[in-house]
Chain A
Amino acid sequence: MRLSLLPRERPARSMLWLSPVLAAVLSVIGVTILFAVLGRDPIEALRTLFITPLATMDGLTELGLKATPLLLCAVGIAIGVRADVWNIGAEGQFTLGAIFGTWVALNFGGAGHWWLIPAMLLAGIAGGVVWAGIPALLRTRFNAHEILTTLMLAYVSIQLLGYLVHGPWKDPEGYSFPQTRQFEADATLPVLVAGTRLHIGALFALLSVPLGSLLLGRTLMGFRIRTVGAAPAAARYAGFNRDAIVWFCLLVSGGLAGLAGICEIAGGNGQLTPVISPGYGFAAIIVAFLGRLNPIGILFASLLMALLYLGGEGLQVSMQLPIAVTGTIQGMLLFFLLAADVLVNYRPQLQVARRAGAVHHA
């Protein structure tokens, strides 16, 4: 007897949404085993990971805060992947968005300009667009694949950030800490809920969901994107310009990541430091897949992933577990999702190797 996979006549729509749920359940089992191996009480750890952060208003707003950059980056990444354009360097565009926006804040902050915040946000978007524009140019003009170029530029951006905060942008009064000056009050994003850190960036993130859905599902551009991704030869045949789609996807995705970057700074620490993200740009790839490359799904996936970040911090504080637990669980989640996805297109079947009446050996 052996297990074999038979192709389904058509993809199972139900499995499309059941598979992330299955992956989440399998991940919880995996995490339980992981904690047991690490010698921690799994129940206690699971509670810290998944329940504690949601128990308070403060925890909920922190969840929104962490989901914001994930959601923005993931919607952009998903639009790209739908067109088979793999922007896996959102982390870099996020960083450049933070750098560009910070430049505006440092140079024009404190004077009470009404346009300061919009200018910072636009600069952040521009930073992401520029950083994603380079791979777009290299892809369309020189055929260099964006997977490697976006990623290499992410490494470069982290060094660029390091250079700025150690060098020219270093706060002279910062006791030689590698960080920029603190933003003035007028360069800080307004908060949504008084007394919490949840800022208006969350609104932009929420807005990206209906806009992304509309783009992909209802517009000719979205149809072009999906066609290029599903069948490049059909797109060429239909007269959809592949290069234009590559540019569009990378710029939109870069702009969203850049917006996430400046929001993270202007709504959070209010200054640049050598590390400004716990890997949001990379985790957003998982979010995009977990959300089925669909903006509405991504909204839920980003909340789950934000919960993992929050819970991971909780584990660090209360159970002295390394923060790397978060990354491990994220990777595990994606593994299980990819494995469960086989059920969308294939139907498992236990086969008896030889039936009665089967041909036999000579």
Chain B
Amino acid sequence: MDASAPPPRLRLTGITKRYASVVANSGIDLSVGPGEIHALLGENGAGKSTLVKIIYGVVHPDEGEIAWEGRPVRIADPNAARALGIGMVFQHFSLFESLTVAENIALGLGAREGIGELTARIEEISRRYGLAVEPSRHVHHLSVGERQRVEIVRCLLQAPRLLIMDEPTSVLTPQEAEGLFDVLRRLASEGCSVLYISHKLEEIKALCEAATVLRGGRVVGGCDPRTSSEQQMAELMIGGELPVAHRRAPLKEGRASLIVANLSLPADEPFGTHLRDVSLTLRDGEILGVAGVAGNGQKELLAVLSGERRAPAADAVRIADVAAGLMGPAARRRLGLAFIPEERLGRGAVAEFPLTENALLTSYQHGLVRAGMVRFGAVEAYARQIIARFGVVAAGTQAQGSSLSGGNMQKFIVGREVGTNPRVLLAAHPTWGVDIGAALAIRQALMDLAAAGSGVLVVSEDLAELFEISDYISVLSGGRLSPPRRTHETTVEEVGLLMGGRMAGAARQHEARGVVDAA
């Protein structure tokens, strides 16, 4: 290395990490310069999370070297990482709900300073970077955007020289994301390096000056995102040409199959969201996308639609012209409802059960049970049919739910729900965390179902996905649902503003300020 040039802030050489059945990282080399915003790109399962956990000391590599500012180091645990000057903002925030902002920050600092002193320092940093946080508030009262600001403030308090951001914008509105980028650019200009993990290519193009692409646990290439096209980066990520879903024919106006009328429902969980005056109509043959940042009432809306929670009145939810608000999930399924829930293992499927019993889970009303006895032969056949039709990779129908990859489990669940020929299908974050191939198959299944005349309601945080498959888009924010807009008549910006809670004529109940207006 040229003696006059400063050493890279962080250099990884030949990092390898094996788990029982997979090699998560294999011989990874990575170098991040001072003040550089470096993107780490890759599909789900490419090994990004393992790699950043290694850098942050949560996981220890089996092989390889880590050099910090030119010196080899061993990062024993996160405390050691922080001592070096490495800060990390986790994808699923590492905050304790029942504690205050200041207590959370104190825990993350590992320093023995009093809460009073700390509060003053928090306020100072928050002013300097325009990251509004209130030290004495409990985290469970905060919106996701605010939580992220708490995490960032916690990192900045340690004057980090490398900041790791793991999928930071997945929980932000597009406008909030812009605000975050401003903060990151400012940090970089002050000399702090940023390792930015994402699979959103447009963001990386806008923000990063270097990129390392991972696939299957290996580095498959690097590029300068400012000069590479999104197409090139995507093909590097998936190692082939980008597949395209077949768009279906424009819809004809169908009959209303799901009607929600002026539904208000208090939260049933300590930190839940109240639904406020929600109305929607879903027609046969159409896909309605519900956009919004998680935690704005998605869980509550889906629960009251699926029947896991009862509506206050029978008329509040009508399925196939029947007042179904007071019915449970089984009765609603008899009306032709099917539901792909957000959580796969533990809700959509049982980890300990074989695929046969997971097939039975929601289709027991479709001739698979006679006189109280399960017809295991028929169940077996149904499971085999789902596996074949959706190309589920599994070791047969007796394979346990937990043995499938996320994408294959989701394909199985989608197959099971679609297989009951529902009149109305609810889908919550249907492609979250699955690989591109599975995501494509799932979107195709949803579009095919709509083309065959069913109504499909998709709740998702992925705006690109909603714009691709939906006929209409509504936005859920603070428990309120915006009126639907035709997808081709609206824009990402408009939807983003609605996600931020700017709803014409609706008083904002929910705290959802972005980084932008705090600055």
Do A and B interact directly, with beta carbons closer than 8 Å?
yes
Residues of A within 8 A of B (CB): 6-11, 218-221, 223, 226-227, 230-231, 233-234, 236-241, 347, 355, 357-362
Contact present for B73 and A233 (CB under 8 Å): no
Contact present for A220 and B74 (CB under 8 Å): no
| B65 interface hit (Cβ, 8 Å) | yes
Within 8 A of A (CB), among B332-349: 332-333, 339, 341, 343, 345-349
- Knowing A10-B400, A360-B72, the reply to whether A219 touches B374 (Cβ < 8 A) is yes
Within 8 A of A (CB), among B344-370: 345-353, 357, 360-362, 364, 369
Contact present for B73 and A220 (CB under 8 Å): no
| B62 interface hit (Cβ, 8 Å) | yes
CA A10 to CA B61, docked complex, whole Å = 24
Residues of B within 8 A of A (CB): 19-21, 61-66, 68, 71-75, 306-308, 328-333, 339, 341, 343, 345-353, 357, 360-362, 364, 369, 372-374, 376, 400, 402-403
The chain A residue with its CB closest to the CB of B368 is A220
Return the contact of B346 from the options A9, A218, A233, A357 (Cβ within 8 A).
Answer: A233
CA A186 to CA B410, docked complex, whole Å = 63
CA A240 to CA B357, docked complex, whole Å = 14
B445 nearest CB across to chain A (Å): 19
Return the contact of B347 from the options A220, A221, A237, A360 (Cβ within 8 A).
Answer: A237
The chain A residue with its CB closest to the CB of B365 is A239
Contact present for A231 and B402 (CB under 8 Å): no
CA A359 to CA B349, docked complex, whole Å = 41
Return the contact of B329 from the options A10, A226, A236, A359 (Cβ within 8 A).
Answer: A236
Contact present for A7 and B20 (CB under 8 Å): yes
A114 nearest CB across to chain B (Å): 32
Contact present for B364 and A220 (CB under 8 Å): yes
Return the contact of B63 from the options A11, A231, A358 (Cβ within 8 A).
Answer: A358
Contact present for B20 and A359 (CB under 8 Å): no
Sample of 7 more A-B contacts, CB < 8 Å, known A233-B346, A239-B329: A7-B20, A220-B373, A220-B374, A239-B307, A240-B330, A359-B64, A359-B66
- Knowing A223-B357, A233-B347, the reply to whether A238 touches B74 (Cβ < 8 A) is no
- Knowing A8-B20, A347-B20, the reply to whether A237 touches B341 (Cβ < 8 A) is yes
Q: In the complex, what residues of B have CB within 8 A of residue A361's CB?
A: 73-74
B465 nearest CB across to chain A (Å): 23
A124 nearest CB across to chain B (Å): 26
B65 nearest CB across to chain A (Å): 5
The chain A residue with its CB closest to the CB of B353 is A230
Return the contact of A359 from the options B74, B331, B357 (Cβ within 8 A).
Answer: B74
Contact present for B362 and A237 (CB under 8 Å): yes
- Knowing A220-B374, A223-B357, the reply to whether A238 touches B362 (Cβ < 8 A) is yes
Return the contact of A10 from the options B19, B331, B402 (Cβ within 8 A).
Answer: B402
- Knowing A359-B65, A359-B66, the reply to whether A10 touches B403 (Cβ < 8 A) is yes
Q: In the complex, what residues of A have CB within 8 A of residue B65's CB?
A: 359
CA A233 to CA B339, docked complex, whole Å = 13
The chain A residue with its CB closest to the CB of B358 is A234
Contact present for A362 and B74 (CB under 8 Å): yes
CA A218 to CA B373, docked complex, whole Å = 6
25 residue pairs from A and B, CB less than 8 Å apart: A7-B20, A9-B403, A10-B400, A10-B403, A11-B352, A219-B373, A220-B372, A223-B360, A223-B364, A226-B353, A227-B350, A227-B361, A233-B347, A234-B346, A234-B349, A234-B350, A237-B308, A238-B329, A239-B307, A239-B332, A239-B333, A359-B65, A361-B73, A362-B71, A362-B72
Q: In the complex, what residues of A have CB within 8 A of residue B75's CB?
A: 359
Q: In the complex, what residues of B have CB within 8 A of residue A347's CB?
A: 20
Q: In the complex, what residues of B have CB within 8 A of residue A362's CB?
A: 68, 71-74
A260 nearest CB across to chain B (Å): 26
The chain A residue with its CB closest to the CB of B399 is A10
Return the contact of B328 from the options A227, A239, A357 (Cβ within 8 A).
Answer: A239
Q: In the complex, what residues of B have CB within 8 A of residue A6's CB?
A: 19-20
Q: In the complex, what residues of B have CB within 8 A of residue A9's CB?
A: 20-21, 403
CA A239 to CA B363, docked complex, whole Å = 11
Q: In the complex, what residues of B have CB within 8 A of residue A238's CB?
A: 329-330, 361-362, 364
9 tightest A-B contacts by CB?
A239-B330, A239-B329, A233-B347, A362-B73, A231-B350, A359-B74, A220-B369, A231-B346, A238-B361
Contact present for A359 and B72 (CB under 8 Å): yes
Return the contact of B308 from the options A223, A226, A236, A360 (Cβ within 8 A).
Answer: A236
The chain A residue with its CB closest to the CB of B84 is A362
Contact present for B74 and A360 (CB under 8 Å): yes
